Amino acid sequence: MSDPTALPVQAYLLACLLSGVVGLFLGRVAWRERDEPGGLEVSLYLGCGGVVAVLYALRVASPNPLVMIGALQTATPFFAAMPALWVAFAFAYAGRDEWRTERRLIGLATPAFIWVLLAWSSRTHGLARSSFDPIVEGPFTLVQTGLGPAGLAFLAYAYGLYVAGILVIVDLYRRTGNRYRLQTFVALLGTLFPLLAGIATVFDFGSYPTVDWTPAAFVVHGVFLYGVVFWLGTLDASVVARDTAVEVMQDPVIVAGSDGRIRDLNPAAERILPDDAVGESLSTAFPDLESGDEHPITIDGRQFDIQEDPITDPRGTDRGHVFLLRDVTERERRQAALERRERQLERQNERLEDFAGVVSHDLRNPLAAATAAVELARHGDGDDDALERAADAHERMDDLIEGLLSLATAGRAVDGVEPVSVDATVRTVWSRLETGSATLLVEDGDETVLADADRLRQLAANLFRNAVEHAGEDVTVRVRTERSDGGVALRVADDGPGIPSDERDRVFERGVSLDDGTGLGLAIVGDIADAHGWSVRVVDEADGGACFEIDGIEVAPK
């Protein structure tokens, strides 16, 4: 039995009993508030620490070696649970719920369970504890339990878990803002007590090498954790949820310091920035963020709006900026589709107006001429040209009606595109037209583009007809393609008289014809190009003829 009159024994018993009472009391209080993140683990940690401390006081005060051994064996499972509870607390406190699964916690606790079984049966094999002999050291009489192989393994396992928990808290300390760094610092500071007490117990640093310093140290550590969770204000939903929300956000978040260097990235930002972006200058890693451009920026084919917010300390000092990149790709696509739809409706309204104009004026004139000619032929006034004039008027009406039908479909939105060979298309169209002695030359036309095949043929046919009708039947038409950054440009030129520069902007308007045409052919060309998202214009040609350039045609993937 230890000497109860000795001051060291009295001091140690008081420390153990006080630690036990504090641990059990705070553990019970924490149990009531266990819904706090880490509250359950703190409650169990304090409870186990309190039980270990009370049982150790019994080992010190008891005169009976069997009672000492019984207290030792009873305290074993509570002692073994401490490292696993510490790691579980670290997971809960840091918001790492993906690590805090039932399977993982069972895996962490399994070595401790095995060690408890070996410790309880060590008298038969000595794997966990090599001796149970009472030893007198000064005023203390304690049971000396040497470490067997399993005991050494458990010691390494316990320290490993404590180090793992420390690393989790250190990572949390690095990720959280200044407002919460006091809590994480206190949690790390409290961890030093059981680590140092364990080292002092294993290695002889004092006058009483058999005295175990860890029971009181466990409770002190538990008090630190209790203070972090319930006194200082835990990293509750306001932090854990915020941190988790930022981590799982699909939108990239970039944090830059006041020096313009990147300090932190969420996983979404890591996917669009280089691996070594953290620590790099923001202007170097991502210059678009500092451009001040309010329009969406494009990254890897997706579009992002940039929201920039300053980071300031309580004194208002600039500490950096947070950049939130909102993925607006779908919004921009919907906006583009809406704009295309609006343009399509505008074109449809314009075509309705043109249709009304053609019906009310252009069709009425040849119809009136045909009617007059038929009346002259009917009364037999000797005008032999009356029927011929009527036939010409009907042919004019037929051309107008065909143009109106083409105009009705030319501007309709393109629902789908397919790979189309430019060379095969223009040659096929040319072979089906009445071109007389005109000549077609295809230069560098071996391109496959994405287009509506029918409307691309209609576009080519109208340009060919325009060339034959305005430049004569002996005209030479040249077709060539040119690659550019925007895709492929298609050029259709002839060697005719050309188009005056002051008329080039008008030729694509409906009803505008430089000769006696319907004024619909080139308007149809403009509508087909617009429906594809292409641009068409009249450009200068070296030989002086008319040259139409259709730009922005997308190349078909190979």
Which of 189, 208, 235 is where one domain is finished? 235
Q: Is residue 505 part of a domain?
A: yes
Please tell me the distance from the alpha carbon of residue 155 to that of residue 57, in angstroms, as a whole number. Answer: 22
Residue pair 473/481 in contact (Cβ under 8 Å)? The answer is no
- Indicate the residue type of 202: V
**β-strands 476-484, 439-443: how paired?**
parallel
pLDDT of residue 175: 66
pTM of the model: 0.46
Tokens of 512: 């505008």
Please tell me the distance from the alpha carbon of residue 173 to that of residue 179, in angstroms, as a whole number. Answer: 11
Q: Is residue 186 part of a domain?
A: yes
If asked whether residues 214 and 117 sit together in one domain, one would say yes
Please tell me the distance from the alpha carbon of residue 532 to that of residue 483, in angstroms, as a whole number. Answer: 18
Neighbouring CB atoms inside 10 A of 403's CB total: 23
The CATH number assigned to the domain holding 263 equals 3.30.450.20
| pLDDT tens string 275-311 | 777 777 877 777 666 554 556 777 776 778 888 788 7
Beta bridge partners of 306: 325
pLDDT of residue 54: 94
In which order are the strands placed within the sheet that holds 487-494?
A: 439-443, 476-484, 487-494, 547-553, 535-539
If asked whether residues 352 and 293 sit together in one domain, one would say no
Give 252: exposed, middle or buried? Use CB within 10 Å, 0-12, 13-18, 19+: buried
Please tell me the distance from the alpha carbon of residue 468 to that of residue 521, in angstroms, as a whole number. Answer: 12
Q: Is residue 558 part of a domain?
A: no
What element of type H or E holds 42?
A: helix 39-61
CA angle 274, 277, 282 (to 5 degrees): 115
Mean pLDDT by 10 residues, the chain (558 residues): 77 89 93 83 94 91 87 92 93 80 89 93 88 78 82 92 90 64 82 86 66 88 88 52 60 80 79 76 69 63 78 67 81 80 74 60 61 68 63 64 58 75 92 86 86 87 86 87 84 88 79 62 83 87 84 87
pLDDT of residue 236: 42
If asked whether residues 292 and 144 sit together in one domain, one would say no
If asked whether residues 163 and 181 sit together in one domain, one would say yes
If asked whether residues 286 and 144 sit together in one domain, one would say no
State the sign of the Cα–Cα–Cα–Cα dihedral 428, 431, 434, 435. positive
Beta bridge partners of 249: none
The CATH number assigned to the domain holding 186 equals 1.20.1070
Q: Is residue 243 part of a domain?
A: no
Tokens of 135: 């030893």
Q: Is residue 2 part of a domain?
A: no
Please tell me the distance from the alpha carbon of residue 17 to that of residue 52, in angstroms, as a whole number. Answer: 10
- Indicate the residue type of 388: E
Residue 188, Ramachandran bin (φ over 0: left; ψ between -120 and 50: alpha; else beta): alpha
CA angle 400, 403, 405 (to 5 degrees): 110
pLDDT of residue 382: 52
Please tell me the distance from the alpha carbon of residue 360 to that of residue 303, in angstroms, as a whole number. Answer: 48
If asked whether residues 473 and 541 sit together in one domain, one would say yes
| pLDDT tens string 48-102 | 999 999 998 988 888 888 888 899 899 999 999 999 999 999 888 877 777 888 8
Write the DSSP string, 355-417: HHHIIIIITHHHHHHHHHHHHHHHHT-S-TTHHHHHHHHHHHHHHHHHHHHHHHHHTSPP---
If asked whether residues 74 and 121 sit together in one domain, one would say yes
pLDDT of residue 238: 46
pLDDT of residue 508: 80
Q: Is residue 242 part of a domain?
A: no
Please tell me the distance from the alpha carbon of residue 265 to that of residue 283, in angstroms, as a whole number. Answer: 15
Q: Is residue 3 part of a domain?
A: no
Which of 235, 266, 291 is where one domain is finished? 235
If asked whether residues 310 and 441 sit together in one domain, one would say no
If asked whether residues 131 and 207 sit together in one domain, one would say yes
SS3 170: helix
What is the residue whose two structure tokens read 């002839």? 494
Containing domain of residue 14, as a range?
9-235
If asked whether residues 311 and 434 sit together in one domain, one would say no
Looking at the 3D structure of the chain, how many domains does it have? 4
Give 353: exposed, middle or buried? Use CB within 10 Å, 0-12, 13-18, 19+: exposed
Which of 369, 386, 404 is where one domain is finished? 404
Give 5: exposed, middle or buried? Use CB within 10 Å, 0-12, 13-18, 19+: exposed
Q: Is residue 51 part of a domain?
A: yes
Residue 449 CB contacts under 8 Å (≥ 6 apart), including other chains: 419, 420, 422, 487, 488, 553, 554, 555, 556
Please tell me the distance from the alpha carbon of residue 547 to that of residue 443, in angstroms, as a whole number. Answer: 14
If asked whether residues 482 and 370 sit together in one domain, one would say no
If asked whether residues 426 and 464 sit together in one domain, one would say yes
